[in-house]
Amino acid sequence: MLRILILCHGNICRSPLAEVLVEAAVSNDPQLAGKVTIVSAGTSDEHLGEAMHANSARILQARGLRTTHCAQVFTPALAATVDLVLAADRANLRNGRAIIRSSDRQPEIRLLRDFDQNARGRDLDDPWGSPMSAYERTAAEISDAIPGLLAELRDRL
C-alpha cells in the first residue's frame, strides 16, 4: 500500500480539496485502486478539528464527491506513516521538511504541482479569503497535476 499525504497550511482549503480529487482519480484507475491511500494535513494548528472550507466542499459536492473532513496537523508521528508528501506550496514544503526531519521515518516530499509539466516549481494557489472563482482555479490546478501524479504512482507500484 502506497500512502500519500497532501500538505497545506491550515488543512481546510487546498489539501482536503486535493485529497478528495486525487482519491477519486486513484479509485477510478484500475492499476491504483485499492493500492494507494490519500490523507491530508496542515503545518499549522489554527484550524485543527475544523471541516473543510465551504467553497472547497461546494466544488466536491458538485462533482458528487465526499465533503467530510476534519483538519489535522502534520506531525513527525504522522510523517512516519506515509511514503510521499505533496506540499501545496514552497512555504509548506519547507515547513514539511522540518517536520519530517524530526520523524522516525523520512518520507519523500515534493510540490504537488511538480506533477504538472507546465507548472513545475510553482505554488498551488491559496484561495482562502477569496471568491469562489479562486477555489475553482485551485481545483483546476490540482486537476492538471493529477495525470502526472497517477503516472508516477503506477511506476512506483
d(CA 15, CA 86): 9
Residues present in the chain in total: 157
Task: Provide the whole-model pTM.
Answer: 0.97
pLDDT tens-digit series, residues 66-123:
999 999 999 999 999 999 999 999 999 999 999 999 999 999 999 999 999 999 999 9
Domain that holds residue 37: 2-156
Residue labelled with grid coordinates 500519500: 4
Residues 115 and 108: beta-carbon distance below 8 Å: no
98: DSSP letter? H
Helix (H, G, I), strand (E, B) or coil at 129: coil
Written as nine digits, the cell of 11 is: 488543512
Domain with 142 in it: what CATH number?
Answer: 3.40.50.2300
Q: Annotated active-site positions, please?
A: 8, 14, 126
Domain total in the chain: 1
